[in-house]
């Protein structure tokens, strides 16, 4: 089993016991809601899809919210007045379905739909002096089918994202509406008649079983904890921690995991996350963040990477990626973790 990269434990570091900061990184998740209002506006142009009806199936791992946003001094869950399925069906019926006598139903299966604010410094390493600037991001993954006579035909898969410099509370409804219009355009660009004639017909029960299998991973069904390291996201999903002996340590900028090898402690960096036997932790950047069960997925207080909360004097950003070997430069850069609520994508192991 690959053990790289590992490094001998440095003797000059001032170490602070990792668990002393766990409380800071494991606040309770937002409990109040911010309700998005979908405005009843006509679409930018008429799109006539050759379906008489639409059916939207919400197969997200967490269907209780659409994301998180900051509003009136706290983070809140983004919700809709109606369900996501009902809202999307209404928009498509009003704007995108033709009035012909087709007996086909457009079926859209939502796998991921998520929106959040983040700091520009979490993703833009060139924006030296504006790292606390907010970016609103919207992520959509969906499968599109034609449904007729109790069988499905797969038409296309949608995997896209949108960004805006406006705040989510102002732009959230627009991002949602724009994604619906984007889907309609994608579907209308297909040669549907040709797809109807050649695409394999799939039994309805087989399609439903395919999506239900997503929720049957060992980690979701049996959320047991054993001390060990998850080298990959697959290890996490399959509840298969590697039984390394390890210790956890921290300094002002980073968290560290050391494994015991041949009687010596070595710094270990090539892993997805770990369990201390009581809680689960995800590695993001140079820090570990506690995972909190959230419906069929996990949420956390974290960030993609530390940011400069004030303009940086040093524009040589190479030091941001030298956490192991140039700690003095990292400390002088005055980076800070600006924590926000995030959620784990249970398809990819990526946290948003």
Contact indicator for 254, 260 with CB cutoff of 8 Å: no
pLDDT of residue 267: 93
Percent above pLDDT 70 for the chain: 81
Tell me what the pLDDT averaged over the chain comes to.
84
Task: Report the pLDDT value the prediction gives residue 250, as an integer from 0 to 100.
Answer: 86
Domains of the chain: 6-28+218-343 (no CATH), 33-215 (3.40.50)
- Helix, strand, coil percentages (3-state) for the chain, rounded to 5, are 20, 35, 40
Q: What is the pLDDT of residues 131-140, one digit of tens each?
A: 778 889 999 9
What is the tens place of the pLDDT at every residue in 91-126? Answer: 999 999 876 778 999 999 999 999 999 888 888 655
Say whether pLDDT at 7 is over 90. no
Residue 242: the pLDDT is: 96
Which pLDDT value is given to residue 131? Answer: 79
The DSSP secondary-structure symbol of 39 reads -
Mean pLDDT, residues 285-291 taken together:
93
Confidence of residue 40 (pLDDT cuts 50, 70, 90): low
Please give the pLDDT value at position 122.
83
User: Which residue, 29, 36, 352, 277, is CA-closest to 180?
Assistant: 36
Instruction: Judge whether residue 185 has pLDDT over 90.
Output: yes
Place of tokens 């946003």: 69
């Amino acid at each position: 089993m690959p053990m790289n990269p590992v490094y001998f434990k440095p003797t000059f570091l001032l170490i602070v016991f990792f668990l002393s900061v766990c409380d800071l990184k494991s606040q309770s998740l937002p409990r109040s809601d911010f309700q998005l209002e979908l405005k009843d506006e006509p679409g930018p142009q008429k799109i006539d899809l050759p379906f008489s009806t639409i059916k939207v199936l919400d197969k997200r791992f967490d269907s209780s919210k659409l994301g998180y946003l900051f509003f009136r001094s706290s983070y809140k869950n983004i919700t809709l007045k109606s369900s996501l399925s009902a809202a999307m069906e209404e928009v498509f019926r009003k704007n995108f379905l033709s009035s012909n006598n087709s007996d086909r139903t457009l079926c859209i299966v939502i796998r991921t739909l998520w929106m959040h604010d983040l700091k520009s410094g979490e993703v833009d390493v060139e924006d030296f002096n504006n790292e606390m600037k907010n970016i609103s991001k919207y992520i959509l993954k969906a499968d599109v089918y034609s449904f007729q006579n109790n069988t499905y035909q797969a038409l296309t898969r949608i995997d896209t994202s949108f960004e805006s410099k406006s705040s989510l509370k102002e732009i959230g409804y627009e991002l949602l509406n724009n994604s619906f219009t984007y889907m309609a355009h994608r579907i209308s660009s297909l040669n549907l008649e040709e797809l109807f004639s050649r695409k394999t017909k799939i039994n309805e029960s087989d399609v439903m079983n395919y999506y239900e299998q997503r929720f049957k991973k060992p980690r979701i069904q049996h959320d047991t904890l054993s001390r060990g390291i998850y080298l990959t996201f697959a290890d996490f999903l399959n509840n298969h921690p590697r039984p390394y002996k390890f210790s956890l340590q921290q300094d002002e900028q980073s968290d560290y995991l050391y494994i015991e090898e041949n009687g010596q402690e070595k710094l270990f960096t090539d892993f997805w996350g770990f369990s201390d036997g009581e809680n689960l932790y995800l590695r993001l950047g140079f820090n570990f963040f506690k995972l909190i069960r959230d419906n069929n997925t996990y949420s956390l207080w974290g960030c993609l990477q530390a940011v400069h909360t004030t303009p940086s004097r040093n524009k040589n950003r190479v030091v941001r990626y030298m956490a192991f070997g140039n700690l003095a430069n990292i400390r002088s850069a005055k980076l800070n973790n600006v924590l926000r609520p995030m959620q784990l994508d249970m398809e990819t192991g990526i946290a948003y």
